[in-house]
Structure 1
Amino acid sequence: MKVTVIGLGYLGATHAVAMAELGHEVIGIEPDPRKLSALSQGVLPFHEPGLDTALTKTLATGKLTFKAAHDAESAASEIFFICVGTPQRAGSDAADTSYVISAAEDLARWVGRDAVVAGKSTVPVGTAAELKKRMDAIAGFDVHLAWNPEFLREGTALEDSLRPDRIVVGTFDQHSVQVIKNVYAPILESGTPFLELDVPTAELVKVAANAFLATKISFINAMAEVAEVSGADAVALAKAIGYDERIGNKFLRTGIGFGGGCLPKDIRGFMARADELGVGSAVEFLRNVDQVNLRRRDRVVSLANTELGEVSGKAITMLGISFKPDSDDLRDSPALEIAQRLQAQGAHLTVHDPVSLVPLASRAPELSSEQDLMAAVKSADLVILGTEWKQYREVDPAELGELVKTKTVIDGRNVLDVARWQQAGWKVIALGRNIQNG
């Protein structure tokens, strides 16, 4: 099929490559000249394991091309995917849908009568209905609009695109359903569930899923707060309750909490939209979810000050700065906020991260960074694990111990082998755990 993907950020670039991998003829539309140039040369403007190789391959086959704007060739597409961002609106919790509106209105001047427009951006419920009115008015006919939310996880995005656990579609007409089934046919043939919903429900699926996951993470971190003052072990608690099949153990890991470009802004946008609909009290609990999450960052700053007397003038090394491993995404990264706060209190921060130091230089130029792990920890008064990269879990603590000034580590993700680090002479501090150090 002929497919156009509008917006080549993290979601759009991944989706465009995935569509080409499935054998479709794909055109990616991206007005940003730097991003467009990089992608055209097979260079990803972000880190995502495996996607760079797939990008190079699909470009070589000719199945994937990029353009700065719509033209007659893209207008001939059978389906258009809108993948532009919906960031948190400045000065508000609400989602900024201006990019989606702009993309939809521009597309309405090009889209054909039989083509389908499938929105993949995460939007407030009710957005699709408003977009359809605008597009119909501009196009002069009934545009086939559908909503097809994405469920990508950074670090496994291409795999999630090609082998999703479900495909959700909300449509206004049956023609859209059939076209979307056609474009996803190779995936559906493998047995992936296809959920045909009404449009408002499809809009809600992504934000509802993220709200649930955020709640689960904050729940166990709330239990960590109780554990810290009662002598309990929140890691063992999570394991114990996770055996209950009604609860499950996924997302039940204590630490410095969630971040990134989705969960924080999605739950805040969800609350804002619920307020607009007059049912804000129904999701009021999400405010506590957000607050619990942010308090975990406060806790690490407090622990650092307690351990060092005060952090001013002390050398602190942050291991990992991205919001999660296998990503260079710094949006709402707990590790980054903690590092910036400690630096603001007078600490001498050095940051190490396998892939995020380039974006860090522009995002937080006040922070010093070091590409070599051993050099990063040299003479440190305190080491903080901020992102659970594999190399930090596997590093030899004895080797690190020979370089630091003080063998003290705050495990912000509860992933270190405590016994192994203690045997190497380290004092290990972890959120939600009362670890006995000799």
Structure 2
Amino acid sequence: MNMTSLTGDTNMMNFEKKADITGKEKIVIGIRLRNLRIALIASIIPMLGLFMPVTSKSVGGRSYVEIVGQLRLSGGAGFILYLWGAVFICAQILMAIITNIRPDKKLGFSWLIISALNTVAISIELFASKLIFDAAGILNGKFLVQDFGIVYWISLIAAYVALANVMKGMRIHTGYIILVILSIIWLFPILWIVLTAFRGEGGYYVGYFFPKNLTFDNFIKLLSPGSIIPFRKWWVNTFIVAVCTCLLSTMIILATSYTLSRTRFAGRKTLMKFMLIIGMFPGFMSMIAVYNILKGIGLSQTLAALVIVSAAGSAMGYYICKGFFDTIPKSLDEAATIDGATRWQTFIKITIPLSKPIIIYTILTSFLGPWTDYIFPSMVLGDKQESYTVAVGLKWLTDFQRIDSYYTQFAAGALMVSIPIVILFIVLQRFYVEGLSGSVKG
């Protein structure tokens, strides 16, 4: 028995350390060697790219090493970003060689972390290089993304290929790390706005990432009574429009959804399909016609126009709420009817208490729409500054004539606008998810 067990263990070890005679993928202690070799080849490409021009000849083709050397003289976040990229490219190729020579899970995960950081650095360079190069003045003329040479694009693709194959080699689902990388890329502009909101130095762009002086002056300038920027008025306007629209839209959506869910009448399905199709069309298709109607009845450049238009079209979004109502047993309605309840009493005392998740979802979506809307308010309100909503007002601060003077105040305003939304989602997130999950059961 012991000899048989020992023989079985030996065969298993041989299977793990050697290729299967059937030609299956070679595996070493749970590591796919084939993917690690592909990742090694992909890691070599960015290493070679360090010494080749990553910018086109039209802007004076510079290699990665030359860019790092020139940015070192100007300092700032640009130098740190490009130095970070160069260091991780070198570290990645080193870990790739070591891991392929001596396959090991700890080495593999170290390589994975370095590869992820390298991919993040190269990806951020795609978005940040224009600001970095233009501020440092190391190229011939202004830089555009199209001025990246073929070497940069090949290195970018190779970085993602290397990362994906390292993950496959370590038996990790590729999607997780890609989501993390994309999240970092998406969060980078948000972090920039937050830091800019507290930046003491004025101007649209500075050659460093972290502010030299942190201050609350940008918030004070926006909120002080004697401020040139009527931000408090804009915020109140936005709050009024959002709350009024939220209340009206929620009532309309709940009433429409309940009616379509519980009653049967001629043309019901046709009406539902028609409303669903109409709701799929973007709102700006009818924007000119709606504006002419508002102007004809004397409601242009008023907050009431924003509330009326937003609430009037809210019924088209009945579908999710109706799906939730469909999950509530009709036997409850029948029992209430037998007990003498009217349709209205059944709706208020039975359906509404059971529909808390979808009501929260409807309130959130109805509030966020007008809170963040820019296109329609900018057309309706025109140049009437005292009626501006926050979105229109902040855009006004970033016009060509004002952006350099008011950019830090714009960042502070953007941060203050986002705070109520973040708080709402944190507090009501559970109900929001329950509302969406319940809506698909019907």
Larger RCO (CA under 8 A, 6+ residues apart): 2
Which protein shows a greater Rg?
Answer: 2
The two structures have a TM-score, normalised by structure 1, of 0.23
